[in-house]
Amino acid sequence: MTARKRVVVAGLGDVGLLTAIRLAKHADVVGISVKDALVSGQELGVRLSRPGDWARDYWIPFDRFRGLDRVRTVQAELTGLDLAGRTVFARGSDGAAIAEGFDALVISTGVTNGFWRQPIIQSGADVGADLHAKHQRLAVAGSIIVIGGGAAAVSSAVNLATTWPTKRIDLYFPGADALIGYHPRIWKRIRNRLAELEVGVHPGHRAIIANGSADPHITSEPVRWSTGQPPAVADAVLWAVGRVRPNTDWLPPDILDEQGFVRVTPELEVPGHRGVFAVGDVAASDPQRSSARNRGDALVAHNIRAEFSGRRLRSFRPPGRRWGSLVGIQPNGLEVFLPSGHAFRIPPWPVQRIVMPGLVRWGMYRGIRTNNPLR
């Protein structure tokens, strides 16, 4: 009888978790994460404005995922990788050293991006305290400035204005338009929505980040601009400026590109290292690192199984533009944008009765138990 192969999935965020679930029936899978739950980096706007709704769909303990029943999850901080010895090293929450050997490795440690994506060990209590503190900080503010032109900033402006229509909310970004990387039709549609919500839209403003290399979270000091405009003032300033840093300090430098992302082949395999794959925001698959959003988990799971059986690997084909939901589930349903810039809306009833319980919880995650010990 052939011994089952061992796969280590380093990072159990959105993409790593799905990859682990897809491999669980085919190998002995070990998942390593600094959290004890899926704490998604998606939907910052919903997270800040409606934390209960966000937690229901995006903060889920690992033991609730039926697809992880065969996966051994380890809460630890990754510290090193021995490619020749095919071993991953980590440090547990108790400080104990951990070494996990592998036949195949999936690097899915993602990126650090603002306060909502941090590679630090946190308990459920830690995550909950931070979640509610950030929400309360914005809830008591009479005016809010959102800084950034990406999806996180735009989604935050829309959701904050929807939840708190009496607050003064302004969105500032450096370019002529926001949502660069999406089809121009999408920004036009979202900008009309911001106008309906009476959100101030201020292009051509590049903020000066006074505290140097540190990432600001939510501040209250005046915002100054390198583009020459007068300072802007609000009770709370939400920074969503996209200062992305890959979580790759634990990896050998020779497998990283100049920005610190993991170099990969079209098959999402690390060049020169068979059985070592990278997927998600950490993988330099294309300029948008779009394996995070375009079934990269399915491709890597397939290629690992193919590697084990000597079959041909498949290539990842990134889309020309970013697409998907931008502002999350709203009272009038879920709007999904296509790469062409066109959109379709799913009404609230099918979202809550079909899309989330059927397509997401069962289709994607292979079943999620309803009990939630964290909250």
Domain ranges of the chain: 6-120+244-321, 124-239
Report the pLDDT averaged over residues 58-76.
97
Report the pLDDT averaged over residues 216-238.
94
Structure tokens at 23: 């491999």
Half-sphere exposure at residue 81, Cβ-oriented, CA atoms within 13 angstroms: 21
What's the topology of domain 124-239? Answer: FAD/NAD(P)-binding domain (3.50.50)
How far is it, in rounded angstroms, from Cα 197 to Cα 159?
Answer: 10
CA angle 55, 61, 62 (to 5 degrees): 140
In this structure, how many other beta carbons lie within 10 angstroms of the beta carbon of residue 118?
17
3-class state of residue 334 by DSSP: strand
Instruction: Please provide the size of the chain in residues.
Output: 375
How far is it, in rounded angstroms, from Cα 109 to Cα 41?
Answer: 12
Strand ranges inside 49-96, DSSP E = 59-61, 72-82, 87-92
pLDDT tier, 293 (very low <50, low <70, confident <90, very high otherwise): confident
pLDDT at position 372 over 70: no
Structure tokens at 28: 């002995």
Structure tokens at 13: 């965020």
pLDDT tier, 292 (very low <50, low <70, confident <90, very high otherwise): confident
pLDDT at position 334 over 50: yes
Q: What are phi and psi of 127, to 5 degrees?
A: -60, -45
- The amino acid at residue 220 is S
- The amino acid at residue 264 is V
The answer to whether domain 6-120+244-321 has CATH 3.50.50.60 is yes
CA angle 211, 212, 215 (to 5 degrees): 70
Report the pLDDT averaged over residues 276-296.
92
Q: What is the pLDDT of residue 48?
A: 97
pLDDT tier, 161 (very low <50, low <70, confident <90, very high otherwise): very high
Q: What is the pLDDT of residue 211?
A: 61
Q: In terms of pLDDT, which residue wins out, 339 or 74? A: 74
pLDDT at position 374 over 60: no
pLDDT tier, 339 (very low <50, low <70, confident <90, very high otherwise): confident
pLDDT at position 86 over 90: yes
How far is it, in rounded angstroms, from Cα 216 to Cα 239?
Answer: 6
How far is it, in rounded angstroms, from Cα 144 to Cα 129?
Answer: 21
Q: What is the pLDDT of residue 82?
A: 98
Q: What is the pLDDT of residue 375?
A: 46
Same CATH fold, 124-239 and 6-120+244-321? yes
pLDDT at position 118 over 80: yes
Q: What percent of the chain has pLDDT over 90?
A: 84
How far is it, in rounded angstroms, from Cα 160 to Cα 50?
Answer: 9
314 secondary structure, DSSP code = P
CA angle 173, 322, 242 (to 5 degrees): 35
pLDDT tier, 212 (very low <50, low <70, confident <90, very high otherwise): low
Structure tokens at 90: 């980590």
Q: What are phi and psi of 132, to 5 degrees?
A: -75, -30
3-class state of residue 101 by DSSP: strand
pLDDT at position 373 over 50: no
Residue 290: Cβ-neighbour burial (10 angstroms; 0-12, 13-18, 19+):
buried
Structure tokens at 236: 């709370």
Q: What are phi and psi of 27, to 5 degrees?
A: -160, 170
